[in-house]
Chain A
Amino acid sequence: MIAASRSMRRARLTMVAVGLIAAASFSRDRAPEPPPSLPEPQCEPLSAQASRGRAIYRKGTNARGKPIVGALGGADVTLSGREAACATCHAPAGTGTEEGGVAAPPITPEVLFAPAENRGAYTADALATAIREGRTPLPRQLGTTMPRFRLEPAEMDDLLAYLRCLGHDRDPGVSADEIRLGAALPLGGPLAGLGESVRAVISAYFEDVNARGGVFGRRLALRVEDSAQGPAGERAALERLSHAEVFALVGSAWSGAPEVEAWLRAEELPLVGPVAAGRAVAAGDDLVFHVHPGTEVLARVAIKHLADTDAEKRVWLVHARDAAGLRWAEGARAEASRRGVALAGEIAFAPGGFEPTLLRAAARGGGGAIILFSGSARELTVAARAMERQKSVRIYAPTWVMAGVEEESEAIVGRVLFVHPGLVGEGPGRALEGFTAFLRRHGMTARDLGEKVSAYVAAGLVVEALKRAGASPTRAGLIAALEDLHDFESGLVPALSYGKNRRVGVMGARLVRVGEPKGRITAASDWIEVTP
């Protein structure tokens, strides 16, 4: 219901014209329907009808997921879906806005169902007329930026049912005394232990928070569903979680498969700190707040480092043709072009199919070369050995390859720089002691330590965001709170920052060496940050 000023003369004409219509319909309809009463407890939880109405209000889609359409005055300019959703102008809780000099007034039931001088009192029918035709009971025409919505009768009923609860309903998973969060984790098969580890850490973290009184008096609960194998299992688990009404996902497994991402988007379900996200995860998905950078970010750090230190060397991009390798290559190419670094060549190989002869071209020619390598730890060792005689050749590899290096082969020590987005030194050592104490206190071992750390950080992150989202948390509020989070310290990973265009908490890394001294990881550069 957008109010707009118009010339007096025009307004008077319209009032006379529409007044006649209103008078006619009034005389035909002797007993006007009484104004609907203010929302009663049926807003919590919402009725099925009001839930469908909420989808129209918030997302601009009907029960079947079809976008609703609204016409802007002239019938041929229309908005649909999200652009036409009531919440876009009137705000998710119906509080309204005056942005752009256009008044989209508050439409919470207290306001909407109270008579107002400039429009009269709304009955259900009058409201439907206002929404469809932009005409208020008084009568007056609503402003032109208020779309005239083409709603089916059933859709209108759904929307009206929700408008009586607007601002009084809670997002799924939130009740007076509990916030329910969810995680899709592998609970069977070879990764079952890992799934259980993540579940145990998040549950233990929530237990500690609940012991201190929860978040705004609400206890945190975790519901876990088995993501089984592959995207199909992941999606089915997410569907079960959504059906069970979880507010948000935390520490969930995340393949980043397009069909899963599309589903998450349709459900508007935020995912905070995916664990075991694999090495090749898109960072662009709006609802997923990653802790760790993807392989493409690590490649960008490598390029930035070598551009500052070894600009004159020839740079070879060598990678497996798997998801991680392709992202490594993509990040390297993007950053190289941004910094004017010319790549000497790109050598791609089938996963597991690396041959030392592939590096012949890179080894030729004096002056040394730089190899940006993404492959398995074994392949990295083979590559490093092949370069043993080429003293000035330096190899960069992403941190996850380091984890697979079983013995510290001499070829790797001193030759390979790993791009490492974690903490190095004594500080994290102390933080890790605190973390192992937490594990012991909750009867857990240090098995799957990496995943357990990730789960702990994810749980801490979602709790911090929930605190900032306030006493009436909404999914949109949670996302806004995360976007406002800067330099969030967990002690276990570098400080996390997010923003409107930033969905990866750690957007940088440092270069590290392994095995100098033996069994240690040592920093070979300062922290290098890249922009989102």
Chain B
Amino acid sequence: MVVVALWGALGVAGACKRPTEERAPSGRAAEAPVGGDVRVASVEGLRIPDEALVDQDGNAVRLRDLMAKHVVAVNFVFTTCTTVCSPMTAVFGRVQDGLGDAMEREVRLVSISLDPATDTPERLKRYADKFGRRAGWTFLTGERERVLRVLRALGGYAPVKEEHTPVTLIGRADEGCWRRVHGIAPPERLLAEIHGAAPRGAIAVEAAGR
């Protein structure tokens, strides 16, 4: 059976539209137990640096190429993290499921390592596999200085990696419009933000039989 869901309002005019709270798939939001402390803020003047990083398979990836022509959700994790990284990655896993075949076609998820010195591609791959990564979800590491430049530009940088806080950046590089979600947002919340960031406010999702 094929279910096509159209999310968000169609045809909101103007650049950098701001999805409001009401546009989240409603009803459950008030009692949603994940992410009691979620806060969303628009980000002004964010530029994606054109850095060459390395993905979980050891392939060179240019960040701008990866982000072009897609709605992108970025989070920041490291494999030896104790508290928030596994929950955040598990949430991305659910977002991936929720996006069905729109993954890679329209949406990309990017998880950038906060600890490039430790997180080799092999390590990232093992970590990613545990959370069921599929095409369209990329884990990035690379030369320390390059990764740090990216983290600074995207607002994920933490001088001490253990002091990082959970942040997800969602938007479209083509449009230059980004929103930052602070806290461990439930997957429905991130999905709403992703759909809200889509051009013409719509992403067609052909739900997989899950």
Chain A residues with CB under 8 Å of chain B are 2, 4-6, 10, 72-74, 76-79, 82-83, 88-89, 91, 97, 99-102, 104, 134, 141, 143-145, 284, 500-501
Contact = CB atoms under 8 A, between A and B. Distances in A.
Q: 10 closest Cβ contacts across the A-B interface?
A: A73-B33, A73-B34, A100-B84, A83-B86, A101-B165, A102-B83, A99-B162, A100-B83, A74-B34, A6-B36
Given A72-B87, A79-B87, A144 B34 contact: yes
B94 A77 contact: yes
Interface stretch (B64-72, B118-126, B146-154, B168-176): B118-126
13 contacts: A74-B33, A74-B186, A76-B187, A77-B34, A77-B186, A79-B90, A82-B130, A89-B83, A91-B82, A97-B83, A100-B81, A143-B36, A144-B87
Contacts of B118: 500-501
From A5, A83, A99, A143, name the one whose CB has the most chain B CB atoms within 10 angstroms: A99
B37 A4 contact: yes
A18 to B, nearest CB: 13
Interface of B: 32-37, 80-87, 90-91, 93-94, 118, 120, 122-123, 130, 162-166, 184, 186-188
B74 to A, nearest CB: 17
Contacts of B93: 77
A74 B32 contact: yes
Contact of A83 (B35, B37, B80, B130): B130
Given A104-B82, A501-B118, 6 more contacts: A4-B36, A72-B91, A72-B184, A100-B162, A144-B35, A144-B87
A73 B32 contact: yes
Contacts, number: 91
Contacts of A99: 81-84, 162-163
Contacts of A78: 90
Contacts of B85: 100
Contacts of A74: 32-34, 186-188
Q: Chain A at the B interface: mostly helix, strand, loop or mixed?
A: loop
Contact of B184 (A89, A134, A144): A144
Contact of A100 (B94, B123, B164): B164
B34 A104 contact: no
A5 B36 CA distance: 8
B33 A88 contact: no
B107 to A, nearest CB: 18
Given A73-B34, A77-B87, A501-B120, A145 B184 contact: yes
A89 B90 contact: no
Contacts of B86: 79, 83, 88
A88 B82 contact: yes
Nearest to B95: A77
Given A4-B37, A77-B186, A100-B84, A501 B123 contact: yes
A358 to B, nearest CB: 32
A72 B188 CA distance: 13
A104 B83 contact: yes
B82 A83 contact: no
Contacts of A82: 130
Contacts of A2: 83
B94 A76 contact: yes
A100 B34 contact: no
A100 B76 CA distance: 11
B120 to A, nearest CB: 5
Nearest to B98: A76
Contacts of B164: 100
Contacts of B87: 72, 77, 79, 144-145
Contacts of B37: 4-6
B35 A73 contact: yes
Contacts of B81: 99-100
Contacts of A91: 82
A76 B96 CA distance: 13
B57 to A, nearest CB: 14
A88 B85 CA distance: 11
A97 B162 CA distance: 10
Contacts of B162: 99-100
A134 B36 CA distance: 13
Contacts of B34: 72-74, 77, 144
A5 B166 CA distance: 15
A144 B33 contact: yes
A342 to B, nearest CB: 20
A87 to B, nearest CB: 9
A83 B90 contact: yes
Contacts of B91: 72, 77
Contacts of B186: 73-74, 77
Nearest to B119: A501
A97 to B, nearest CB: 5
A284 B122 contact: yes
* Most chain B CB atoms below 10 A, which of A10, A91, A102, A141: A102
A23 B94 CA distance: 37
A101 B184 contact: no
A77 B90 contact: yes
Contacts of B130: 82-83
Contacts of B94: 76-77
